[in-house]
Chains A and B, each alone.
Chain A
Amino acid sequence: MKEMSKIVRTVTNFVYGFIIIFGFYIIAHGHLTPGGGFQGGAVVASAFALLLISYGRLITKKFLKKDIMSITESCGLTMFIVVAFLGLGITFFYNFLANTGSWFGNTTVIGINPGDMNTGGVIPLMNIAVGLEVLSALGVIVLIMAGAAEFTKKKENS
């Protein structure tokens, strides 16, 4: 996969950071606004795909390490299951942090309101875990498939 023209690369330089920021915004505000872990992770992974398409695989490999992303993916899934197990005193997936006053535990105002970032109990933690897992999973898939496509093309030519 070669790098694309200079126009595409310049626009990528402008847009790349903003797409990642927007994705992490969707992940972090999952309990207040539409969206959540899956959607935000997909947005961040689309930024990775944009970098891969516009700059080619050899330059992208310096920024995105496949092994690190593979580790983050496993960490995300493990964190999700661990948070689910922490509420096991009552039930699996029990929201033990909600309305307690500690982490993410402010009492929610009932009714229509703009929302407080520090509410939601376990839900923001799970959003972050799932978002981490989805963004690194899709990133790993994109990176590996790009490498494999290059390999097969080389093999056909020889």
Chain B
Amino acid sequence: MKKIIFGIAFIIFFSFLIVSAINMRTFGEPNYSEMDDYFIENAQSETGANNVVTSVVFDYRGFDTLGEATVLFTAVVGVVALFRGVKK
């Protein structure tokens, strides 16, 4: 019984995947490309960096990087707190 339910669920899920793979857009032609075009056109003159990815990560989406750095900091705080009783 469990196997039958699992099989039906698997088939339904897999058919969704197949349908969405068939209906996918052609590669390299997204529907909305205004933001990408803006970054490619203006990133060099606005931020002065040649690497557009870095200018997105550290300038346009700076909050995201701030969150990532804070997550790493919190992880270190957790590790230190977990092993604080261990003798050096």
Complex CA distance for A77 and B71, rounded to whole angstroms:
11
Please give the distance in Å from B19's CB to the nearest CB on chain A. 36
A36 near B83 with CB under 8 A, answer no
> Restricting to B30-88, which residues have a CB under 8 Å from any CB of A?
44-51, 53-55, 57-59, 62-63, 65-66, 68-70, 72-73, 75-76, 79-80, 83, 86-88
A56 in contact (CB, < 8 A): no
Count of A-B contacts with CB under 8 A?
117
Q: Chain A residues near B66 (CB, 8 Å)?
A: 80-81, 84
Q: Contact size class for A? A: 35 or more
> Restricting to A130-151, which residues have a CB under 8 Å from any CB of B?
130, 133-134, 137, 140-141, 144-145, 147-148, 151
> Restricting to A113-158, which residues have a CB under 8 Å from any CB of B?
113, 115, 119-123, 126-127, 130, 133-134, 137, 140-141, 144-145, 147-148, 151
Complex CA distance for A127 and B65, rounded to whole angstroms:
10
B50 near A145 with CB under 8 A, answer no
**Residues of A near any B CB (own CB < 8 A):** 30-34, 36, 38, 70, 73-74, 76-77, 80-81, 84, 92-93, 95, 98-99, 104-108, 110-111, 113, 115, 119-123, 126-127, 130, 133-134, 137, 140-141, 144-145, 147-148, 151
**Residues of B near any A CB (own CB < 8 A):** 44-51, 53-55, 57-59, 62-63, 65-66, 68-70, 72-73, 75-76, 79-80, 83, 86-88
